[in-house]
């Protein structure tokens, strides 16, 4: 049982603000507080803390969309989207992939925030932020693919009822594992006669089919899906030559499907001449040496790539954003000792979020705000519920077929996938490959790309493009 076996009444904090968004002056309030959720027997089991930014006056709910937003991890709070892209304030970090340095960090008004056209609710899943399991529930009871989707889905329903917003257009927006969560929640709520349909799913840095990103023996998909990102990375760092970036990336896509995948599937059946020819093409796309590629049997594990490709300069690349570079203690290591794209910006976001909580939102709480809960990620239950009597084979999570079903059952669903060209955590070609199958109508998806990484909003031009694309996604006919 948790430290909240007998939960107190939900706490909430309300503050009022003014800002200019989309060229309009907006008065708004933030309702930051807990929502207690009960199980089928009425016992309280989860306390979800959220931040609801609501324009005033509210007016007709049917004319005012509401966006439910969250990050991923699993085990991450929503501070990255909150303080980086969608919130009314944002923290400024170097746009050129430089280190954000030390405090104080600059927090500025965010005119790109879509509060002029929609209300925004940032959700922290159990174990993150101030959210937690309560009553007789254990912390890990909320840590899992289905458990998480159930809790977040119940929160959305409770929020719509409490705020009298069932008439409003409804959107889910997730980043990274948050894209998995968004599809899982929409799939859970959108089934059967009692369905709750969403107007749109915003999927930022997409991962729906984990086969495409889980590098392991016998699975060539991650190699194929990462190659165009490696090509963009090599070009960015001057390791490849091309006059047209987009044409170079497209050539990498074609090579990945038509030549690289068959070579990996052939394995030891590939003759030496063909293997060398493939290695030479890979070297031209990635900046790696032909000898190294032959020694790895043409496989390019992303962490090894990040350490190997600029080894002669003593530099490692970022995972979430390969524009970022760093140096390791051991210049001979096989993989980087850390992720430069994480340690360059993480302290700025964490400081900005905690300052925002205590000063701008006047949240008076001694309990710490949990930015990232590593235990939740380590203990995450990835299994989906099977029909009674069914057996399970080892498999990676894949919620993409659920997205296909949602499209078929709700033809008006607006699906937007936002992708960073330099993202090795959730490569953009993985999203494209996922959308090409799984019963998904790829032609009905708005697919956008940005010259940055996983958190493309770290790059100012990409932030502006991202939020312009978000506004188009939110546009209500």
Question: What DSSP letter does each residue of 173-211 carry, written as one string?
Answer: EEEEHHHHHHHHHHHHHTSSTT----SEEEEEEE-SBGG
335 with 416, same domain: the answer is: no
Which of 342, 364, 394 marks a domain boundary?
342
Q: Assess whether pLDDT exceeds 50 at residue 221.
A: yes
Helices (H), 296-436: 302-308, 340-343, 346-355, 374-378, 400-409, 428-435
Q: How far apart are CA 325 and CA 453, in angstroms?
A: 13
Q: What is the pLDDT at residue 94?
A: 97
18 with 142, same domain: the answer is: yes
Residue 35 lies in a domain: yes
Residues paired with residue 170 on neighbouring β-strands, in sequence order: 66
11 φ/ψ sector (left φ>0, alpha ψ -120 to 50, else beta): beta
Average pLDDT over residues 446-468: 98
Map residue 425 onto helix, strand or coil.
Answer: coil
Map residue 250 onto helix, strand or coil.
Answer: helix
Report the CATH number that the domain containing residue 34 is assigned in CATH: 3.40.50.1820
Q: Assess whether pLDDT exceeds 90 at residue 366.
A: no
Q: What is the pLDDT at residue 194?
A: 73
159 with 291, same domain: the answer is: no
Average pLDDT over residues 283-295: 98
204 with 245, same domain: the answer is: no
Split at pLDDT 50, 70, 90, the class of 2 is very low
Q: Assess whether pLDDT exceeds 80 at residue 469.
A: yes
Residue 7 lies in a domain: no
Residue 3 lies in a domain: no
Residue 291 lies in a domain: yes
45 with 104, same domain: the answer is: yes
Q: What is the pLDDT of residues 79-120, one digit of tens each?
A: 999 999 999 999 999 999 999 999 999 999 999 999 999 999
Which of 285, 308, 342 marks a domain boundary?
342
Residue 458 lies in a domain: yes
259 with 131, same domain: the answer is: no
80 with 151, same domain: the answer is: yes
Q: What is the pLDDT at residue 59?
A: 87
Residue 5 lies in a domain: no
26 with 142, same domain: the answer is: yes
Proportion of the chain above pLDDT 90, given as a percent = 90
Q: What is the pLDDT at residue 435?
A: 98
Q: What is the pLDDT of residues 331-342, one digit of tens each?
A: 899 999 999 999
Residue 64 lies in a domain: yes
Residue 2 lies in a domain: no
369 with 335, same domain: the answer is: no
Which of 342, 357, 384 marks a domain boundary?
342
Mean pLDDT rounded to a whole number for the chain: 94
Q: Assess whether pLDDT exceeds 70 at residue 442.
A: yes
Q: Assess whether pLDDT exceeds 50 at residue 57.
A: yes
Q: What is the pLDDT at residue 253?
A: 98
Average pLDDT over residues 264-289: 97
109 with 158, same domain: the answer is: yes
237 with 182, same domain: the answer is: no
Split at pLDDT 50, 70, 90, the class of 383 is confident
Q: Lowest-pLDDT range, 154-158, 193-197, 260-264, 374-378?
A: 193-197
**Long-range contacts of residues 92-99, Cβ cutoff 8 Å, at least 24 apart:** 93/344, 93/345, 93/348, 93/458, 95/458, 95/459, 95/460, 95/461, 96/323, 97/318, 97/321, 97/323, 97/324, 97/325, 97/341, 97/344, 97/458, 97/459, 98/344, 99/344
* pTM given for the model: 0.95
Q: What is the pLDDT at residue 1?
A: 39
Compare 240 and 40 and report the one with higher pLDDT. 240
150 with 30, same domain: the answer is: yes
Write down the number of H helices and E strands in the chain: 15, 14
Closest C-alpha among 153, 175, 170, 10 to residue 77: 175
Parent domain of 390: 12-211+345-474
Average pLDDT over residues 18-32: 97
> Are the C-beta atoms of residues 45 and 137 closer than 8 Å to each other?
yes
* Number of domains observed in the structure of the chain: 2
């Amino acid at each position: 049982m948790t430290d909240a076996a007998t939960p107190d009444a939900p706490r909430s904090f309300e503050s009022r603000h003014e800002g200019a968004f989309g060229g309009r002056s907006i008065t708004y309030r933030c309702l930051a507080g807990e929502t207690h959720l009960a199980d089928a027997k009425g016992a309280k089991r989860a306390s979800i803390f959220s931040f609801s930014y609501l324009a005033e006056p509210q007016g007709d709910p049917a004319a005012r969309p509401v966006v439910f937003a969250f990050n991923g991890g699993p085990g991450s709070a929503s501070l990255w989207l909150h303080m980086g892209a969608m919130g009314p304030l944002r923290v400024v970090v170097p746009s050129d992939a430089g280190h954000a340095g030390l405090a104080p960090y600059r927090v500025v008004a965010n005119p790109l925030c879509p509060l002029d056209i929609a209300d925004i609710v940032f959700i922290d899943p159990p174990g993150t932020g101030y959210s937690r399991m309560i009553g007789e529930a254990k912390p890990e009871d909320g840590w899992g693919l289905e458990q998480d989707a159930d809790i977040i889905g119940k929160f959305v329903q409770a929020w719509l009822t409490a705020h009298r917003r069932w008439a409003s257009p409804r959107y889910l927006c997730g980043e990274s594992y948050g894209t998995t969560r968004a599809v899982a929640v929409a799939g859970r709520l959108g089934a059967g006669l009692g369905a709750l349909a969403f107007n749109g799913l915003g999927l930022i840095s997409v991962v729906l089919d984990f086969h495409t990103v889980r590098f392991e023996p016998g699975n060539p998909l991650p190699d194929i899906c990462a190659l165009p990102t490696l090509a963009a990375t090599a070009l960015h760092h001057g390791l490849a030559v091309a006059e047209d970036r987009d044409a170079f990336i497209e050539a990498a896509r074609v090579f990945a499907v038509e030549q690289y995948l068959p070579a990996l599937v052939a394995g030891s059946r590939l003759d030496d001449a063909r293997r060398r020819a493939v290695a030479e093409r890979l070297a031209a796309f990635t900046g790696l040496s032909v000898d190294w590629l032959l020694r790895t049997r043409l496989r390019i594990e992303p962490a090894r790539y990040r350490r190997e490709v600029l080894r002669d300069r003593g530099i490692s690349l970022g995972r979430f954003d390969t524009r970022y570079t760093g140096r390791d203690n051991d210049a001979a290591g096989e993989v980087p000792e850390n992720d430069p794209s994480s340690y360059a910006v993480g302290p700025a976001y964490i400081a900005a979020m905690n300052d925002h909580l205590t000063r701008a939102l006047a949240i008076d709480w001694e309990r710490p705000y949990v930015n990232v809960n590593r235990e939740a990620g380590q203990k995450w239950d990835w299994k989906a519920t099977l029909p009674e009597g069914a057996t399970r084979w080892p498999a990676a999570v894949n919620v993409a077929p659920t997205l296909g079903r949602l499209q078929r059952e709700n033809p008006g669903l607006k699906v937007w996938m936002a992708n960073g060209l330099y993202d090795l955590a959730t490569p953009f070609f993985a999203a494209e490959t996922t959308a090409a199958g799984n019963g998904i109508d790829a032609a009905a998806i708005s697919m956008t790309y940005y010259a940055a990484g996983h958190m493309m909003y770290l790059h100012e031009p990409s932030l502006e493009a991202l939020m312009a694309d978000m506004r188009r996604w939110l546009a209500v006919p």
